[in-house]
Structure 1
Amino acid sequence: MAQLTPDDIDRLARRRAGAKMGFYFHLAVYVVINLALFAISEQALGHRRWSAFPLVGWGVGLALHGISVFVLGRGSTLRERMVEKERQRLMREHGGPRP
């Protein structure tokens, strides 16, 4: 793996922190909005709990966002292992230098 300069490290750290902050903001909005929707559905006539539908639908999107940030994001061990495996396969196929 190539050596990173201090500027590269700073830029990468800021990008990763920004991605995590984006997820936390998404999570906070999810909680606030779904609490409001739950309160509205409780006050609605007929007391049908329709608030579960946006809760689940948006929850799937939130889960995918979390996976993309914490599991598949740059620097994750899973992603780095997959990249390294693919790099080695390409090196073998195209006769590049051996690690």
Structure 2
Amino acid sequence: MEDKSYERAKKRMENLKSFYIHLAVFILFNSMLFLINFLSYEESGHWWFLYPLLGWGIGLASHGISVASFGIFGPDWEEKKIQEYIEKEKRTKV
């Protein structure tokens, strides 16, 4: 049982690390897009960097929600669902 707890904690840590990397790349890349757009604003005439910022921001927010330990997909949710499916299977076999 303790080994499973360690594996779950390790997986959560890896997911959080992945989110932080995603966040860093998001900030760096979108900063670069903003700078390019700022320097070429006279030619384009509009702030086009907002489109990838918004699209990628939605993806980043989804990633953050999936990693967060709150809401309906909290830390015990997976274990509760597994137990629910086991109980359901036991009832149908009887």
CA contact (8 A) 1:71 1:79 kept: no
Task: Report which structure shows greater RCO (CA 8 Å, sep ≥6).
Answer: 2
Q: Please identify which structure carries the higher helix content.
A: 2
Q: Using a 3 Å threshold, how does the CA distance of structure 1 residues 78 and 43 change in structure 2: closer, same or farther?
A: farther
Q: CA deviation at 1:79?
A: 2.6
Match runs of 1:1-99 below 5 Å: 4-5=1-2, 7-44=3-40, 45-70=43-68, 76-77=74-75, 79-80=77-78, 83=81, 86-87=84-85, 90=88, 93-94=91-92
Secondary structure of the 2:46 match is coil
**Aligned equivalents of 1:70 and 1:54: distance in 2?**
24
Structure 2 spans left out of the alignment, 5+ residues: none
Q: CA deviation at 1:87?
A: 3.6
Equivalent residues, number:
90
Q: CA deviation at 1:77?
A: 4.7
Task: Report which stretch shifted further, 15-24 or 81-90.
Answer: 81-90
Identity %: 32
Q: Using a 3 Å threshold, how does the CA distance of structure 1 residues 18 and 63 change in structure 2: closer, same or farther?
A: same
Q: Which whole-Å deviations, capped at 9, do the CAs of 1:49-74 have from their partners, x for residues lacking one?
A: 000000000011111111222158xx
Task: Report which stretch shifted further, 50-59 or 82-91.
Answer: 82-91
